[in-house]
Amino acid sequence: MKGMRKLKKAGMILSMVVGMIIAACMSPAAGPEVVESDEAAAPAMQEVQSTLSIVQERGKLVCIGNAQLPGFGFLDSEGNFSGFDVDYCRAIAAAIFGDANALEVRPATAKERFTILSSGEGDVIIRNTTWTMSRDTDLGMNFGPTTFYDGQGLMVRKESGVATLQDLQGASVCVVTGTTTELNLADQFAAAGVDYEAVVFEDFDQSFTAYDEGRCDAVTTDKSSLVSRQTTLTVPADHVIINVTLSKEPLGPAVRHGDDQWFDIVNWVVYATMLAEEHGISSQNVDSFMDSNDPNIRKLLGLEGDFCAKIGLSNAGCFVDVIKQLGNYAEIYDRNLGPDTVFDLPRGLNSLYTDGGILYAPPIR
């Protein structure tokens, strides 16, 4: 009998794993299987201790990240994690410990990231994760402020001079069939009244190879993915991602349901980088603001109000540490994706609301 039960248990575990793998291999449509394994696991993870105290006891933040996305997460030649998402991991570590290096990045694939977070092996996911309703609800995630507004984009050859959708009149576009990408493409071009010819492929590799060989005038997928795929083209510099967005992909940090203090910390660290840019505070000039009279700046820099204590951090200058070590949003963006990098990705939506973007951080008061 006992053996039978063991076998049954083994069978159960097996089916869960197989489900996960199938889910990992399939499109987002396979999501519910992952959800099931998460649901089954959830009761065992009754958390008594707060995430913050676990992190402080451990002495470092464990950030679930990506190690294979150019510009967002990778190892540099010295073996240090680097990239836009990694910088936000470092920002949270800087706020908590005053040291951006009190951090372990736990690389994860797209599908395992949520399971790793729910199992408590990581504290926060910052891994080009799109904020969607099902993830927010079914998967038990809380999404922090969007750090990068991604969206489906279009890549064209520089020499074509294409800058808008209208310029693509009659063009052929390489796209992967059976995806939301294909549907978005049809919708957006129809809405813009532009005729085009879709050249469909089974997977990204074929689609990009075809584009590289000149079989289509443009290729489409998520912008951050286009950025990384651009590198696989024969002459990456001959191509440009135009400033047009066909779908919504808000990427940001995610934490487990049920720990509001931790959620607040992640939220306000991200907001602090945006507020710093808004007030013109950067890693270079932050010290010169220490005698500022502007109450907004004084609160951000911990000179009045003791706002860091409100998110459970004893270090009154928690945001100062973030700004000093990582810089404001613009610095983080430019360092990883900006004009001085090979990507030269226009900020577009990721500009402050004052510059025509949609980054709008609530005030600290």
Give the binding site for other proteins (CB under 8 A).
Answer: 7, 10, 13-14, 16-18, 20-21, 37, 41, 44-46, 67-71, 73-80, 82, 104, 106-109, 112, 115-116, 119-121, 228, 230-233, 236, 341-343
Nearer to other proteins among residue 3 and residue 161 (C-beta): 3
- Nearest distance in Å: CB 317, other proteins: 26
> Nearer Cβ to other proteins, position 146 or 228?
228
What are the φ/ψ torsions at residue 124 (nearest 5 degrees)?
-155, 145
Nearer to other proteins, 3 or 170 (CB): 3
Question: In whole angstroms, how far apart are CA 11 and each of 22, 34, 129, 265, 334?
Answer: 16, 17, 31, 40, 50
Which lies closer to other proteins via its Cβ, residue 69 or residue 352? 69
Q: How far is the CB of 11 from other proteins (least distance, A)?
A: 10
Of 44 and 133, the one with the shorter C-beta distance to other proteins is 44
The closest alpha carbon to 278, from 264, 290, 294, 265, belongs to 294
What angle separates helix 260-278 from helix 329-336, to the nearest 10 degrees?
80
Query: Taken in order 282, 286, 292, 295, is the CA torsion positive or negative?
Result: positive
* ∠ Cα 22 27 32 (to 5°): 65
Nearer to other proteins, 7 or 191 (CB): 7
Least distance to other proteins, CB of residue 13, Å: 7
Q: How far is the CB of 41 from other proteins (least distance, A)?
A: 5
Say which amino acid occupies 77.
S
Q: Are 125 and 262 in contact (CB under 8 A)?
A: no
Min dist. Cβ of residue 287 to other proteins (A): 30
Neighbours of 169 (CB within 10 A): 13
Q: What is the largest CA-CA distance in the chain?
A: 75
Smallest separation, CB 245 to other proteins (Å): 22
